[in-house]
Amino acid sequence: MTDKPITVTSPLLPNLDDLIPMLKDIWDRKWLTNNGHYHKELEKALAEYLGVKYLSLFTNGTLPLITALQAMRITGEVITTPYSFVATTHSIWWNGLKPVFVDVEEETGNIDPEKIEAAITPHTTAIMPVHVYGTPCNTKRIQEIADIYGLKVIYDAAHAFGVHVNGESILKSGDMSTLSFHATKVYTTVEGGALVCHDEATKKRIDYLKNFGFAGETTVVAPGINSKMDEIRSAFGLLNLKQVDSAIASRKATAEKYREALKNIPGIRMLKDIEGVRHNYSYFPIFIDEKQYGMSREALYEKLKENNIFGRRYFYPLISTFSAYKGLESANPANLPIAHKLADQVLCLPMFAGLDEESANRVIDIVLKK
């Protein structure tokens, strides 16, 4: 008998019995989208849970990135990281802007602040870093550079739901932060996302932009998009918010189990918890040094697959190697040695709330080459 498949993640699902009365309520109201009852409740509840003042819901985690750049009227060049999901760079392209790639830190996979200044030109107007795997960027240093050069900072916080640094939400950093609530994320509304900003006027503008630019029944103030979250997904999100803390606790337990089991394996590096940070354990990447481990990342990836375990190589290939971007000067591999190294070494092990002991042991046994 083959073992049951273990995927890299599995969605956080609310109890169906709790969802059904809410669906009945939506049916009764006959109000399905466009800032409905549950949409309003979820915006409020999420802002409270995340510790931010202004949050706008979106239909996914890509459109808030696109809208953030539009809302801030970013022009010219945007400095960003190649070590992310393609949506980060795509959002820059969708605004007709030029992405400029900067290398990352080996320790975290986040953009290296010390390499940002060299990439700034007279056309640079913004920095778009990513808190990759939910590990906070060096927001203090990034802000110092942004302040010196008069740049805006938009954080792609798709992985950083609920992450705090010294008791403060990471989403308070920079000018704006975006979230993804995709099915594969720590917190999900099936598809979904949000844009966090720091003042009421900006929230108002964002809300216009996600609703075609409508600022009233007959007034359109900008070429906005349609990215409104509907009532069904808002209800789903309200229920999931009640269980996200226990989901993060379950992820933490798995992370601790993996770390303990794999800590003495030569050639395997794992992310560490950072003091003062409330992590969310959104991914569990391991970085494989083939020479020391005695097996390549590709070989381990395949071996896991043969055993019905489906890890993922997030983030390989690098965004800068895709056809749309590889012609950019900043995409030259010589400019991005650490990002290339991480992309070649990384393998994300299965990590989700409720990953059972037996499954985690199956993963560990393969990595231990038992």
Residues that bind ligand T4K (CB under 6 A): 7-11, 60-62, 84-85, 87-88, 130, 156, 158-159, 180, 182-184, 193, 310, 312, 314
Give least dist CB 156 to ligand T4K, A. Answer: 5
Q: Which residue has the tokens 């979230």?
A: 179
Contact 194, 168 (CB under 8 A): no
Q: Which amino acid is at 73?
A: R
- Nearest residue to ligand T4K on Cβ basis: 61
Give least dist CB 148 to ligand T4K, A. Answer: 26
**Could you tell me the two tokens for 155?**
């954080």
Contact 209, 70 (CB under 8 A): yes
Nearer to ligand T4K, 135 or 293 (CB): 135
Q: What is the Cα–Cα distance from 48 to 59, expressed in whole angstroms?
A: 20
Give least dist CB 83 to ligand T4K, A. Answer: 10
> Measuring CA to CA, which residue among 237, 233, 213, 211 is closest to residue 223?
213
Give least dist CB 30 to ligand T4K, A. Answer: 28
Nearer to ligand T4K, 271 or 293 (CB): 271
Nearer to ligand T4K, 62 or 67 (CB): 62
Nearer to ligand T4K, 132 or 367 (CB): 132
List beta partners, residue 128: 80
Q: What is the Cα–Cα distance from 79 to 330, expressed in whole angstroms?
A: 10
Give least dist CB 176 to ligand T4K, A. Answer: 14
**Could you tell me the two tokens for 105?**
């830190």
Give least dist CB 334 to ligand T4K, A. Answer: 25
Nearer to ligand T4K, 87 or 151 (CB): 87
Q: Which amino acid is at 209?
A: L
Q: What is the Cα–Cα distance from 108 to 163, expressed in whole angstroms?
A: 15
Contact 212, 221 (CB under 8 A): no
Nearer to ligand T4K, 177 or 293 (CB): 177
For residue 109, give the 3-state DSSP assignment.
Answer: coil
**Could you tell me the two tokens for 360?**
């985690």
Nearer to ligand T4K, 164 or 233 (CB): 233
Q: What is the Cα–Cα distance from 193 to 182, expressed in whole angstroms?
A: 7
Nearer to ligand T4K, 110 or 125 (CB): 110
Nearer to ligand T4K, 312 or 362 (CB): 312
Give least dist CB 305 to ligand T4K, A. Answer: 11
334-346 core/surface letters (b: 16 or more CB in 10 A; e: else): ebbebbbebbbbb
Give least dist CB 262 to ligand T4K, A. Answer: 22
Q: Which residue has the tokens 């309003």?
A: 40
Give least dist CB 28 to ligand T4K, A. Answer: 28
Output the DSSP codes for 299-367: HHHHHHHHTTEE-B-TT-S-GGGSTTTTTSGGG-GGG-HHHHHHHHHEEEEP--TT--HHHHHHHHHHH
**Could you tell me the two tokens for 213?**
């630019």
